[in-house]
Amino acid sequence: MNLSLLGDSPLAITQQAIGIFLASKQDNGQIAGISYWQTANGYTAIALHDSWSHTTGNVEILHDLLSKVEDGQKNYINEFNDDSMWWAMCMLETYNLAQDPNHLRVARSIWTHVRDYVVPPRRYIIDDNDMEGGVMWTSKPNETQLNAITAGLFSELSARLACLHEDAASRQKHLDFAIGSLSWILRCRFVPDQYLVLDHIDLDTGQKTDWTFTYNTGQAIAASIAVYDVMNQNNTDQSQSSNGRVYLDLACNMARRAMTRPGWVDDNGTLTEPDAYPGTGDGRKQAWENSDGVGFKAVLVRGLAKLYKTIQRDEADLELQTQIAKFIEWQFQSLQERDTNGQGQYGPWWDGPMDLPTSHSQLAVLDVMAAIHAVRE
């Protein structure tokens, strides 16, 4: 099925969306109207867009904006560990794109900072489960919350840094951390028969909050792929390569279920996740209201695109490759048909109707703008 649109090429459409987003840049390097972590995700999507489209049109402006952000926030680290690691992901993608050694240095600095907030073995036991590998939400001294998103981010960050270490001991140390945090998710925040990642646990009360946001599963997919890549890196170690396949299979199974989950995907195949940013009902958001939830589904799209690139590279699971490609193509088409004013601006509801274009709604679509190039190579 050819979902190409008449008129502008996909690259023209995606670059226009990026240009609209960047038009809200501020003197401090951030984007007006959205939060610190949202800005990081926007810049990450732009870096992936250039990588996957084999272009460099945004490299210079990204470098300028990132330098300004770092001038005001050393190493991009704040008290929220997930915020800091969203910036670490941004650093890794911009490093892959432009090979600026400072970006790799910063990613490593963020890893070192967050490592101090990883729960060691036997420190906390809840419902007979060791909280080892969980990652504190913040660096506050009284923090008690372990989040799936912080663990998923730390796992991916650790694994990807492991791949960049030439020293075997350093590579293994980072891999151990990556597996440890992903294992915490699978042990404490995972529903195996649904391949679904839940939200967080409070260490003080033992209370489990079982929100089912898309970005938790999307980030777990990305972490699983990253662990697989490290374990598959040393082709001479067949046992480790074989064990790594378990993580790729996990990512594939999470992806299959995510693309067909009724609470996330409309009957027509559009990813909407209405519980995170509802467009109807008593809890309806107004389009001008920014909320973290508006961009959760973008992280899932990113994870799916990373998985597509991985299984395409390794010539694995042709059926899933096709499924992911069609899913991402459909999100792109739905945005063009139902959620734009035709001027490169997009609303928050991907299945329509188009409403007010804002920085947060524009942010949310950038991962689709990147992912479409991942599946069209």
pLDDT beyond 80 at 5: no
Q: Is residue 13 assigned to a domain? A: no
Tell me the C-alpha to C-alpha distance, in Å, between residue 187 and each of 196, 302, 361: 12, 24, 34
pLDDT beyond 70 at 369: yes
User: pTM, whole model, 2 decimals?
Assistant: 0.96
Q: Is residue 100 assigned to a domain? A: no
Q: Is residue 347 assigned to a domain? A: no
Q: Is residue 91 assigned to a domain? A: no
For 275-291, the pLDDT digits (tens) are: 999 988 888 999 999 99
* Range list of H helices, 23-58: 36-53
Q: Is residue 187 assigned to a domain? A: yes
Number of domains in the chain: 1
Domain holding 217, by residue range, is: 117-240
Q: Give mean pLDDT, residues 73-77.
A: 98
Q: Is residue 71 assigned to a domain? A: no
- What CATH number is associated with residue 132? 1.50.10.20
154 within 8 A of 85, measured Cβ to Cβ:
yes
CA–CA dist 345, 20 (Å, integer): 7
Q: Is residue 61 assigned to a domain? A: no
For 199-233, the pLDDT digits (tens) are: 999 999 999 999 999 999 999 999 999 999 999 98
Q: What is the pLDDT of residue 377?
A: 78
Q: What is the pLDDT of residue 2?
A: 37
Percent pLDDT > 90 in the chain is 93
Q: Is residue 43 assigned to a domain? A: no
Q: Average pLDDT, whole number, for the chain?
A: 95
Q: What is the pLDDT of residue 64?
A: 98
Sign of CA dihedral 297, 298, 299, 305: positive
Banded pLDDT at 83 (limits 50, 70, 90): very high
Banded pLDDT at 97 (limits 50, 70, 90): very high
